[in-house]
A and B are shown apart, each in its own frame.
Chain A
Amino acid sequence: MLRLPQFSVETPSTLEAALGLLADHAGRALPVAGGTDLLPNLKHRLAEPEVLISLADVGELRGISVGADGALSIGAMTPLDQVANHPEVLARAPALAQAAGIVASPQIRRMGTLGGNVMLDTRCRYINQTHFWRKALGFCLKKDGTVCHVVAGGQKCVAAASNDTAPALMTLGGELVLRSKAGGERRMKVDDLWKTDGIFNKKTRLDELVVSVHVPAQRPGHRGAYGKLRERESFDFPQLGIAVRIDLDGREVADADVALVALQARPLHLKDVADTLRGTTVGETSFRDAVDKVAERAHQQCHPLPNIPGDADYRREMVPVYVRRTLLSAVGLGQRPVS
């Protein structure tokens, strides 16, 4: 078996204690939630923290609640499995439920958390490998090296954001509640979280924790869906992930949004989606035509890189197909993610 590096583990039982530990060990510690992303990465020597601060015992970080305004608040430590099956999430944010429910495999969804998924490290076929393998190839920019194997001569890491829930949260206008000992609490839109840097693609501070994820109340006619291209029906990271929001007024589209993941270092919003779909009527050709137009635009706007497994040209070809299917699923009977 691959061995983990040596580190010590702290198991605080309050958020305050966890933040204190994180501040004390600044730069030498990492928080660990379910560990389903972090531990494999440690085995691959992608990080070498001296201390892991386990959030497992921090009860304040768990649970799903609905505010008076109809907004959802989901504790960062809530397992994906609960997010996927919670009746309020299913009703209020179907795209999020679908995305959470299609992450990895059933076992991993019980361990893996929503906070961990938002904070998931970027992925690349040349980095999520053992130390031996990476050394044999030659180390790269993201860890231990100076070159990029995806973009010859590239000066920037383009490892792909691969978290299924990220685009869903973006279409839903999701916000993170962040807290650190030094900086206190702040809110950040999931849209604003990202940097185009595959080495660390988030704008959070190192001593900061995600406390909860906030999903504002959606319109009455809210529809949502998630689509995922992957090799197998379980286990696999997205080779392309597409979240859709369509707000209907009767059968007429009032607003819409599409966001994609597993393209480059940050998830992206597709441009002009609302303008194209708005005013069209579901069930009529105007809607079908607009959907085709959005799919066509998506094809123009999205250029998957050969960063993650899966043929990059094929992934690009699948962009319009999955965008169209996911849009149609959102307004149809789509109970399950498109895959």
Chain B
Amino acid sequence: MAARDLHGPNPPWAKGFSVVGQPQRKVDGLSKATGEAVYTDDIALPGMLHAKTLRSPLPHARIKSIDVSKALALPGVHAVITGRDLPERYGVIPWTQDETALAVDKVRFVGDPVAAVAALDEDTAVRALELIAVEYEPLHAFLEPEDALRQVEPKIHEDKKNNVSKHVLLDFGDVDAAIAGADVTVEGEFGFHSTTHAPIEPHCAVARVSPDGVLTVWSATQITHYVHRALAKVLALPEQQIRVIQPCLGGAFGGKSDPFSLEFCVAKLALITGRPVKMLYTREEVFYTHRGRHAMKLRYRTGAKKDGRLTGVDAKILIDGGAYSSFGLVTTYYSGQLLTGPYDFPTYRFDSTRVFTNKPPCGPKRGHGSVQPRFAFEVQLDEVAEALGLDPIAIRRKNFQGTHTQTVNGQRITSNGFLECLAAVEAASGWKERRAKLPYGRGLGVAGSMYISGTNYPVYPNEMPQAGVQLKVDRSGLVTAFTGGNDIGQGSSSVVRSIVAEELGLLPEHVRVVAADTDLCPVDLGAYSSRVTFMVGNATIDACRKLRAKIVESVAAKWEVDPARIVMALGEVVDLDDVTHRLSVREAFHLAEARHDTLGSTGAYNTPELGGKYRGGTIGASPAYSFTAHVADVRVDVETGRIHVDKIWVAHDCGRALNPTLVAGQMDGSVYMGAAETVMENHAVSARGLHTGPSLLDYPIPTTLDTPEIESWIVESIDPEGPYGAKEAGEGPLHSAIPAIANAVYDAIGIRLRELPFTPAKVLRALGEQAERVESRRQRPVQAAE
């Protein structure tokens, strides 16, 4: 780790922070609120064609023939392409590239792209799709992972040995002995269903080829850099000839992390026709494109001593991957690697298998790979507490791993505010007075979790920095920051602005941020794994410090004072020891430009060496972890089985809240997303392999009326390596919302729900099956009626 990467958590100027820590409006807040923001679909270019995708109606089939002649003959149609036109494989993980832009020889799920048409308008393109004749030979469809494991043929990917996408078995210490030596062992099976991101903006891409052959692709992506690389590979074009731009983005949540079929198709169609081409997915296509949460079947075994100390945790996980690999290699590791906090596991084993099935491909969704195991483990931990007669918060405290420590799987833990998180939700929820004492049907539940702030696994191996930032200084007093970091609504460009304003003593409105344009911005690996604030933030500080040294030096020379006396803040430069020395930052820029020539700087960040010294040890190894605790307050209508999540208290350790408004927004968004996955959302496929309802009517996302009341606490543990001590806030606060609700349901009605989602029908069934338990719970003395 270079000095470049470490800036310490303190404010850059002696007088404390002037921008960081204050609530700041988002850089694009007003333009979004007023409808001025330009999303990909708002782009209209002269002569632009509209493209549409023909999709497979079958879950698994060989393509015997495709005849596009009739479609091509339709007036208004400019080009039709099939898999043969784009046979090169891609995939975000270099070792598992198993996708093509359009199906080559076979289709693997209902919705798999087969052909694409560019026409004068969408209606003509739609009509042309109907004229493409595809002859299929149906194959056995694997719709359950167990089936795909049991039966190998007909393999979903013919070049693989079987239908296993990835298997990871990692052992840390002697788990079996540790569990055998425990005073209590709890074992159980859990089910997590698939859910999807449902961003309001569907995927969209526009391509244009300039007369000199430069291909520009605007895409609603959250990782411009990988799209850039993948386009070059698939189109066999030099990377310098391609420019990728991410316009304003209408939500992603992980669902826009892969390179997608439409990006290649618009590019290819633009190259063929010489005209700009746009493709906008329908809502239905977004559901097929998916990359949502993996369904998992999880078996956990946990041992503990009488005092509540865990002795070992043993997990076996079957992961339903859907048709392609996507990020699946990482998912499989994450399903085990990210569980080893905030509690100390003396021994641990996980055995995770990701299996291909003929369903829409799964991928990264907010809390990638670790939300499902977190649910299972936190429910099991509650059972351990119950078996030992311990308070669920007490057992979590008891097992706290501490700060600046190492996990059993070799991950370095730095700052850790989990105890503060627990204390906050315990106090706010009235836990001690209310848990196990509310009237029958109401209950409280707790859970905790941790998440990464990026990892030191760069997806494709390279020695270059993970994040880069470039600054350009204008004589007007404006500074423009160029970053490859993708602002997907989470506010990363706003974070960059705040940091530049803080470091260079500018008013935030005198900093502009240009993001996610591969021609203009230095590479950043994109918006995933909650890496942007940490990595781009540190790179921004690095760039600012280099520039600032020149400016301070120039001003000091002019005033003939020690540079240490100079402070820059909110547009002014002052001498701390002589108030007659005062300049605007703009004037300071002029002095520095005169002295040093045109001003600019670059900054970068790379992670230190981290992770266990074993295969996969770096996957999930993060420079800093965030920590979260939730308490849920639920009401169960035992007649209808409906769970009403009335309130959730969430406390999240984000290191330092660079902009508390953004942190609180991420916490709220995470909680409602987690709550929705718990009680309503379900991305399901029928026995025929068809999505059960690919629309926002049939796939219910919560309305404001279905969203719990949320009270959130920001805990600031001030990380030694984060920018000013910041970690992450975008994904961590989702995890423990789900088990907290499950545990609250148990407190309310005495029923352990282990299979998500907790639909009313399921609750009623469980109530019927466990009538005895319920009866004893009903007898519970009501000490604190509401």
Do chains A and B stick together as partners?
yes
Return the chain B residue nearest A105 by Cβ: B703
Inter-chain CA distance A311–B641, complex, in Å, is: 13
Interface string of B687-706 (1 = CB under 8 A from A): 01011111101101011011
Tally of contact residues, B, Cβ under 8 A: 33
Check if B282 is an interface residue, CB within 8 A of chain A.
Answer: yes
* Least CB distance, B72 to chain A, in whole angstroms: 21
Given contacts A132-B55, A309-B698, contact A3 B122 (CB under 8 A): yes
Inter-chain CA distance A215–B693, complex, in Å, is: 37
* Contact yes or no, B284 A130, CB < 8 A: yes
Check if A233 is an interface residue, CB within 8 A of chain B.
Answer: yes
* Contact yes or no, B761 A311, CB < 8 A: yes
Return the chain A residue nearest B760 by Cβ: A314
CB proximity to A under 8 Å, residues B449-467: none
* Contact yes or no, B761 A314, CB < 8 A: yes
Check if B413 is an interface residue, CB within 8 A of chain A.
Answer: no
- Interface of A: prevailing SS: loop
* Contact yes or no, A233 B703, CB < 8 A: yes
Check if B232 is an interface residue, CB within 8 A of chain A.
Answer: no
Return the chain A residue nearest B129 by Cβ: A132
* Contact yes or no, B693 A232, CB < 8 A: no
Check if B134 is an interface residue, CB within 8 A of chain A.
Answer: no
Check if A2 is an interface residue, CB within 8 A of chain B.
Answer: yes
Check if B640 is an interface residue, CB within 8 A of chain A.
Answer: yes
Check if B110 is an interface residue, CB within 8 A of chain A.
Answer: yes
From B123, B641, B688, A137 is in contact (CB under 8 Å) with B688
* Contact yes or no, A313 B761, CB < 8 A: yes
* Least CB distance, B395 to chain A, in whole angstroms: 35
Check if A235 is an interface residue, CB within 8 A of chain B.
Answer: yes
* Cross-chain pair count, CB within 8 angstroms: 70
Given contacts A125-B698, A313-B761, contact A136 B57 (CB under 8 A): yes
* Contact yes or no, A133 B705, CB < 8 A: no
* Least CB distance, A121 to chain B, in whole angstroms: 14
Check if B764 is an interface residue, CB within 8 A of chain A.
Answer: yes
Inter-chain CA distance A141–B126, complex, in Å, is: 24
Given contacts A136-B57, A321-B639, contact A232 B700 (CB under 8 A): yes
Inter-chain CA distance A128–B695, complex, in Å, is: 10
By CB atoms of chain B within 10 A, which of A1, A133, A311, A318 has the most? Answer: A133
Q: Which residues of A contact B759 (CB under 8 A)?
A: 311, 314
Given contacts A132-B55, A133-B694, contact A231 B282 (CB under 8 A): no
* Least CB distance, A38 to chain B, in whole angstroms: 15
Inter-chain CA distance A130–B126, complex, in Å, is: 13
Inter-chain CA distance A314–B762, complex, in Å, is: 9
* Contact yes or no, B57 A132, CB < 8 A: yes
Q: Which residues of B contact A318 (CB under 8 A)?
A: 640
Inter-chain CA distance A130–B130, complex, in Å, is: 14
Return the chain A residue nearest B202 by Cβ: A1
Q: Which residues of A contact B764 (CB under 8 A)?
A: 314, 317
* Least CB distance, B368 to chain A, in whole angstroms: 27
Return the chain B residue nearest A135 by Cβ: B57
* Least CB distance, B650 to chain A, in whole angstroms: 22
Check if A236 is an interface residue, CB within 8 A of chain B.
Answer: yes
Inter-chain CA distance A321–B642, complex, in Å, is: 12
Interface string of B266-308 (1 = CB under 8 A from A): 0000000000000010111000000000000000000000000
* Least CB distance, A329 to chain B, in whole angstroms: 14
Check if B680 is an interface residue, CB within 8 A of chain A.
Answer: yes
Inter-chain CA distance A136–B57, complex, in Å, is: 5
From A130, A133, A232, A237, B706 is in contact (CB under 8 Å) with A232
* Contact yes or no, A231 B280, CB < 8 A: no
Check if A129 is an interface residue, CB within 8 A of chain B.
Answer: yes
Check if A155 is an interface residue, CB within 8 A of chain B.
Answer: no
Check if A6 is an interface residue, CB within 8 A of chain B.
Answer: yes
Inter-chain CA distance A130–B760, complex, in Å, is: 28
Q: Which residues of B contact A1 (CB under 8 A)?
A: 280, 282
Q: Which residues of B contact A14 (CB under 8 A)?
A: none
Check if A234 is an interface residue, CB within 8 A of chain B.
Answer: yes
Q: Which residues of A contact B705 (CB under 8 A)?
A: 232-234
By CB atoms of chain A within 10 A, which of B110, B283, B639 has the most? Answer: B639
* Least CB distance, B672 to chain A, in whole angstroms: 13
Q: Which residues of A contact B122 (CB under 8 A)?
A: 3
From B57, B641, B703, A234 is in contact (CB under 8 Å) with B703
Q: Which residues of A contact B688 (CB under 8 A)?
A: 137
Return the chain A residue nearest B55 by Cβ: A132
Return the chain A residue nearest B676 by Cβ: A232
Inter-chain CA distance A313–B122, complex, in Å, is: 42
Interface string of A1-12 (1 = CB under 8 A from B): 111001000000
* Contact yes or no, B761 A232, CB < 8 A: no
Q: Which residues of A contact B641 (CB under 8 A)?
A: 314
Q: Which residues of B contact A321 (CB under 8 A)?
A: 639-640
CB proximity to B under 8 Å, residues A223-256: 229, 231-237
* Contact yes or no, B697 A235, CB < 8 A: yes
* Contact yes or no, A137 B126, CB < 8 A: no
Interface residues of A (CB under 8 A from B): 1-3, 6, 105, 125, 128-130, 132-133, 135-137, 229, 231-237, 309, 311, 313-314, 317-318, 321
Of the A-B pairs whose beta carbons lie under 8 Å apart in the complex, a sample of 22, sorted by A's number, is A3-B123, A125-B692, A129-B693, A129-B695, A130-B282, A130-B694, A132-B55, A135-B57, A136-B57, A137-B688, A232-B680, A232-B700, A233-B706, A234-B703, A234-B706, A237-B697, A309-B693, A313-B761, A314-B759, A314-B760, A314-B761, A317-B761
